[in-house]
């Protein structure tokens, strides 16, 4: 995949530059759903009014089966730490547009760049993550436009639907500020995208 590395720092970390790491004391907070939970994709889609960002293979699969490809889908070929079954894997990765490395319990510069590129594109975009996509819902809520829907999977419960508002963005910013790592660089990446619009 061709990448524009003009914004990358000239050190040895390269494409998988680590930005943020989830601290242990935040893990329990992230288990709480950030919005209403729905089990039926068709019912959820009736409440979507604006761009749709899906984080997770099973969530993405349900939207594709409902005939509504997400504007951005972030998948990693896994669910609940296990490899997804072959039908789901083939369905969600059939049209992969971008790839990014994102280690478990981290948010990398590469995945943020891919997310921002996906949001900026006119056509539906699938991002295949090598590693784990679980935390990407957080920066997606910050980066998505007002009124967009960010949907992610809640294990054994269903799909969590967050309709992006300023309040949600502020909540996610406060949460992300509590991560360990280079928060300054993280915000620079997100804000450079917002400044380009």
Residue 25 marked as a ligand binder? no
Residue 156 marked as a ligand binder? yes
- Provide CB contacts within 8 A for 195, sequence distance 6+: none
Residue 87 marked as a ligand binder? no
Residue 76 marked as a ligand binder? yes
Residue 164 marked as a ligand binder? no
In whole angstroms, what is the distance from residue 4 CA to residue 28 CA? 36
Residue 48 marked as a ligand binder? no
In whole angstroms, what is the distance from residue 57 CA to residue 134 CA? 10
- Provide CB contacts within 8 A for 8, sequence distance 6+: 14, 15, 17, 109
In whole angstroms, what is the distance from residue 159 CA to residue 173 CA? 22
In whole angstroms, what is the distance from residue 74 CA to residue 111 CA? 9
Annotated binding residues, written as ranges, equal 57-59, 76, 133, 156
Indicate the annotated binding residues for GTP: 57-59, 76, 133, 156
């Amino acid at each position: 995949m061709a990448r524009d590395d003009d914004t990358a720092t000239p050190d040895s970390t390269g494409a998988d530059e680590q930005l943020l790491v989830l601290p242990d004391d935040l893990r329990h907070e992230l288990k709480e759903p950030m919005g209403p939970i729905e089990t039926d994709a068709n019912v959820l889609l009736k409440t979507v009014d604006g761009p749709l960002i899906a984080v997770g293979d099973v969530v993405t699969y349900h939207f594709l089966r409902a005939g509504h490809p997400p504007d951005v889908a972030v998948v990693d070929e896994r669910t609940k730490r296990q490899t997804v079954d072959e039908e789901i894997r083939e369905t969600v990765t059939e049209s992969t547009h971008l790839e990014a490395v994102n280690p478990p319990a981290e948010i990398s510069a590469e995945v943020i760049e891919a997310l921002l590129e996906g949001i900026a594109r006119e056509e539906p975009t699938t991002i295949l993550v090598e590693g784990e996509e679980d935390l990407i819902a957080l920066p997606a809520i910050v980066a998505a436009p007002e009124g967009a829907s960010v949907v992610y999977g809640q294990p054994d419960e269903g799909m969590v639907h967050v309709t992006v508002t300023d309040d949600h963005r502020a909540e996610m910013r406060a949460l992300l500020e509590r991560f360990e790592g280079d928060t300054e660089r993280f915000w620079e990446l997100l804000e450079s995208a917002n400044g380009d619009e």
